Amino acid sequence: MRGEASVIDQIKDFASWFFVSGDPLIYGADVAIALTTAAIIFVLSYFGKWGWLWREWLTTVDHKRVGIMYIIAALLMLFRGGVDALMMRTQLVFPDMKFLSPEHYNEVFTTHGVIMILFMAMPLMFGLFNIAVPLQLGARDVAFPFLNSLSFWLFFFGAMLFNMSFVIGGSPNGGWLSYPPLSELTGSPGVGEDFYIWGIQVSGIGSLMTGINFIVTIVKMRAPGMTWSRVPIFTWSVLSSCIAIIVAFPVLTVTLALLFLDRFLGAHFFTMDGGGNAMMYVNLIWMWGHPEVYIVVLPAFGIYSEVVATFSKKRLFGYGSMVFAMLSISIMAYFTWLHHFFTMGSGANVNIFFAISTMIIAIPTGVKIFNWLFTMFRGRISFTTPMMWTLAFIPCFVVGGMTGVMLSVAPADFQFHNSYFLIAHFHQVLIGGVAFGYFAGLYYWWPKMFGFKLNETIGKWAFWIWNIGFYVCFMPQYVVGLDGMTRRINSYGWDTGWWAMNFTSTIGGFLMGIGFLFQVWQIAHSIKFMEKDTTGDPWGARTLEWSIPSPAPLYNFATTPLVTDRDDWWEEKERIAAGKMPKEKPKLEPIHMPKNSPIPFIQSICWFTVGFGLVFHWLWIAIPGFVGIALTLLAHSFNYDTDYYIPVDEIRQTEAKAGRGV
């Protein structure tokens, strides 16, 4: 009898260590996860959709579908990160409320920051890359479609691994960059930091591969005639972002690998004893981290440029200076990382160098703002939702940029450092620059993805609620920040006088949450009452992606376009309007396409397994994962059946169905 009891006790001990428990929020999450999983399984089985899901989506290598999956995952993560944000704002309304304990608050700001940047902004950006870049280039897919699918699944399972920490094992709590010694075993003995390391590591490999893939795509897959001076500006922005990715992400990979060795094998790269140096970590992580913020904002600049030109019915002003500005930003971003720790004792000369390099980066950004304004000048502006987000971005980014320049004044930073002033600044550029830009892009390319526009009326409601919420939320934070409120606190004294500002800020936060719900409603409503776009060019746009039907057929272009102008599609429309002959199209030929493959999905599950095993130090789980990776690599290497041809008849039928004669 005693033996049995102790087995049960052992199981109980294990369960209470393995499963996070003791908090109503966690039980709520458990129930939500269980219900969602059950609902998905039920729906897929009821409608007999498992085969469809597997064949059409999970194994797809089509860039348009990969893009859509990125976007869906990113929007789910926006929800999760947003709930985190609202929980923090709720706690901060009443300083002595016991809603989030200090420990729990640490976990929430850590997961919020990581999710928003790595699992929301990055995939939303990759989703838009995937949707737009091959189409803008006149290409049939990205350079390496198989690798593209692998990148997506690595991101996806990395994100799942990270998110799991919420209910299994415990969340990381060392901040979104996990500084040692906090993130060392001494500071964080639980498994949270290991989830952080492996969640980011697995998805980061995917990001690096995407960077390589898109650089090769842009260099090698441009349609004939598309010289560098005819490349659409969004594609240029993707190229500059990807150049930064391939330099920055290896630094991240190595940094996290070293931290992992510290934690797993007791190495001393960053520990406080044994010759380690925690400052080294801070340098390394910001050598990735600072370029990272430019990686996510550059494509937003590209989107704004496309949107401004399209909806002003004018050629983009200053194309050359725009390209030059973006490329120089992607390089200069490497010479500013130290502005994140002016206060850590590097000495005056080092601080001066980084203060000045930071201020210099503001110059190309300013150039771009003027280019957008000049593009609008004397344009025929139409106030569609993508254009509204672009218009809202400009003042928002100007203010955010200027507070950034304030922070870059090293002596002043000793005052602002780690205060709410900083929180307000970086949210202003991340939301006003990055999130607004991706929303603009999402609205802009939505018809190309799905063949119908999103409802403009609800979209405008969402726009206004978001924007008002934004200013109500973040303007007061500049004030409390200057008044001395520091970041990463879950409580403050009533005598500080910070309450009114925090209360206002929280109202703004919830308004943004309502704005998000309006966007969800907008999507649901538009799916139900959609008006099909039969033109393929609902905005009267300028670049090649709008010359083909919406949604784009599997092979994108029935015949490869011959590019003779920048804004080639616009010039073609002008020619036709002027009564000239449209450009002659070559004869239809069978189209060479890549075949679907289950390997990216399966291999990413193996990576997930490896990560999970290493998080818990369970080699009996990690080793089979490694074996799985090796086997799938082998299987792929020996698979020669990777492509096929679409016959001419089938192309003709598809085009006819979309209302195009060829």
When CB distances are held under 5 to 8 angstroms depending on the partner's kind, the choice from ligand HEM, Cu ion, none that residue 244 binds is: none
* Close Cβ partners of 148 (under 8 Å, ≥ 6 residues apart): 61, 63, 66, 130, 141, 142, 210, 213
d(CA 579, CA 416) in angstroms, rounded, equals 62
Closer residue to ligand HEM (CB): 179 or 249 = 179
Distance from chain centroid for Cα 485? 29
The nearest distance, CB 410 to ligand HEM, in angstroms, is: 21
The nearest distance, CB 288 to Cu ion, in angstroms, is: 11
Q: Does 290 bind Cu ion (CB under 5 A)?
A: yes
The nearest distance, CB 486 to ligand HEM, in angstroms, is: 8
When CB distances are held under 5 to 8 angstroms depending on the partner's kind, the choice from Cu ion, ligand HEM, none that residue 297 binds is: none
The nearest distance, CB 594 to ligand HEM, in angstroms, is: 33
When CB distances are held under 5 to 8 angstroms depending on the partner's kind, the choice from ligand HEM, Cu ion, none that residue 453 binds is: none
Considering only CA atoms, which of 111, 124, 113 is closest in space to residue 152? 124
d(CA 215, CA 128) in angstroms, rounded, equals 15
List beta partners, residue 149: none
Closer residue to Cu ion (CB): 65 or 290 = 290
The nearest distance, CB 493 to ligand HEM, in angstroms, is: 16
When CB distances are held under 5 to 8 angstroms depending on the partner's kind, the choice from ligand HEM, Cu ion, none that residue 396 binds is: none
In this structure, is the dihedral angle defined by the CA atoms of residues 5, 9, 11 and 15, taken in order, positive or negative? positive
The encoded tokens of residue 170 equal 């415990």
When CB distances are held under 5 to 8 angstroms depending on the partner's kind, the choice from Cu ion, ligand HEM, none that residue 290 binds is: Cu ion
When CB distances are held under 5 to 8 angstroms depending on the partner's kind, the choice from Cu ion, ligand HEM, none that residue 314 binds is: none
When CB distances are held under 5 to 8 angstroms depending on the partner's kind, the choice from Cu ion, ligand HEM, none that residue 172 binds is: none
* Close Cβ partners of 455 (under 8 Å, ≥ 6 residues apart): 522, 525, 526, 529
The encoded tokens of residue 445 equal 């390319």
Closer residue to ligand HEM (CB): 20 or 108 = 108
Q: Output the CA–CA distances (angstroms, integers) from residue 56 to 59, 316, 460, 596, in the order listed.
A: 7, 38, 34, 9
The encoded tokens of residue 614 equal 């290493």
The nearest distance, CB 426 to Cu ion, in angstroms, is: 9
Q: Binding to Cu ion (CB under 5 A): which residues in 26-65?
A: none
Q: Print the binding letters for residues 480-509 with Cu ion: x by CB under 5 A, - otherwise.
A: ------------------------------
The nearest distance, CB 82 to ligand HEM, in angstroms, is: 5
Q: Output the CA–CA distances (angstroms, integers) from residue 448 to 99, 122, 526, in the order listed.
A: 44, 21, 14
d(CA 561, CA 366) in angstroms, rounded, equals 35
When CB distances are held under 5 to 8 angstroms depending on the partner's kind, the choice from Cu ion, ligand HEM, none that residue 71 binds is: none
Q: Residue 411, class by beta-carbon neighbours within 10 Å (0-12 exposed, 13-18 middle, 19+ buried)?
A: exposed
The nearest distance, CB 424 to Cu ion, in angstroms, is: 15
The nearest distance, CB 114 to ligand HEM, in angstroms, is: 8
Closer residue to ligand HEM (CB): 294 or 546 = 294
When CB distances are held under 5 to 8 angstroms depending on the partner's kind, the choice from Cu ion, ligand HEM, none that residue 239 binds is: none
Closer residue to ligand HEM (CB): 281 or 452 = 281
When CB distances are held under 5 to 8 angstroms depending on the partner's kind, the choice from Cu ion, ligand HEM, none that residue 238 binds is: none
Stretch that binds Cu ion, among 81-89, 287-295, 316-324, 497-505 (CB under 5 A): 287-295
Closer residue to ligand HEM (CB): 74 or 614 = 74
Q: Which residue is nearest to ligand HEM (CB)?
A: 113
The encoded tokens of residue 404 equal 């950034």
When CB distances are held under 5 to 8 angstroms depending on the partner's kind, the choice from ligand HEM, Cu ion, none that residue 176 binds is: ligand HEM
The nearest distance, CB 253 to Cu ion, in angstroms, is: 20
When CB distances are held under 5 to 8 angstroms depending on the partner's kind, the choice from ligand HEM, Cu ion, none that residue 233 binds is: none
The encoded tokens of residue 489 equal 């606190």
3-state DSSP: the chain helix, strand, coil percent, rounded to 5?
Answer: 70, 0, 25
For ligand HEM, the binding residues (CB under 6 A) are: 82, 85, 88-89, 109-110, 112-113, 116-117, 121, 175-176, 423, 427, 430-431, 434-435, 473, 487-488, 509, 512
The nearest distance, CB 301 to ligand HEM, in angstroms, is: 16
Q: Binding to Cu ion (CB under 5 A): which residues in 533-572?
A: none
The nearest distance, CB 585 to ligand HEM, in angstroms, is: 43
The encoded tokens of residue 60 equal 């797809």
When CB distances are held under 5 to 8 angstroms depending on the partner's kind, the choice from Cu ion, ligand HEM, none that residue 488 binds is: ligand HEM
Closer residue to Cu ion (CB): 431 or 442 = 431
d(CA 59, CA 595) in angstroms, rounded, equals 9
d(CA 340, CA 347) in angstroms, rounded, equals 14
When CB distances are held under 5 to 8 angstroms depending on the partner's kind, the choice from ligand HEM, Cu ion, none that residue 225 binds is: none
The encoded tokens of residue 262 equal 């510290």
The nearest distance, CB 76 to ligand HEM, in angstroms, is: 14
Closer residue to Cu ion (CB): 293 or 544 = 293
The nearest distance, CB 425 to Cu ion, in angstroms, is: 11
Closer residue to ligand HEM (CB): 278 or 635 = 278
Contact present, 126 and 210 (Cβ < 8 Å): yes
d(CA 101, CA 110) in angstroms, rounded, equals 14
Q: Name the DSSP class of 595.
A: P
Closer residue to Cu ion (CB): 292 or 655 = 292
Contact present, 112 and 81 (Cβ < 8 Å): yes
Q: Residue 396, class by beta-carbon neighbours within 10 Å (0-12 exposed, 13-18 middle, 19+ buried)?
A: buried
Stretch that binds Cu ion, among 8-16, 116-124, 286-294, 345-353 (CB under 5 A): 286-294
φ, ψ at 485 (rounded to 5°): -75, 125
3-state SS assignment for residue 66: helix
243's enclosing H/E stretch is helix 233-265
**Amino acid (one-letter) located at 51:** G
The nearest distance, CB 190 to ligand HEM, in angstroms, is: 17
d(CA 623, CA 609) in angstroms, rounded, equals 9
Distance from chain centroid for Cα 619? 32
3-state SS assignment for residue 418: coil
E-state strands within 305-344: none
When CB distances are held under 5 to 8 angstroms depending on the partner's kind, the choice from ligand HEM, Cu ion, none that residue 117 binds is: ligand HEM
Closer residue to ligand HEM (CB): 108 or 615 = 108
Q: Print the binding letters for residues 415-454 with Cu ion: x by CB under 5 A, - otherwise.
A: ----------------------------------------
Tokens 């994108």 belong to: 556
List contacts with Cu ion (CB under 5 A). Answer: 290
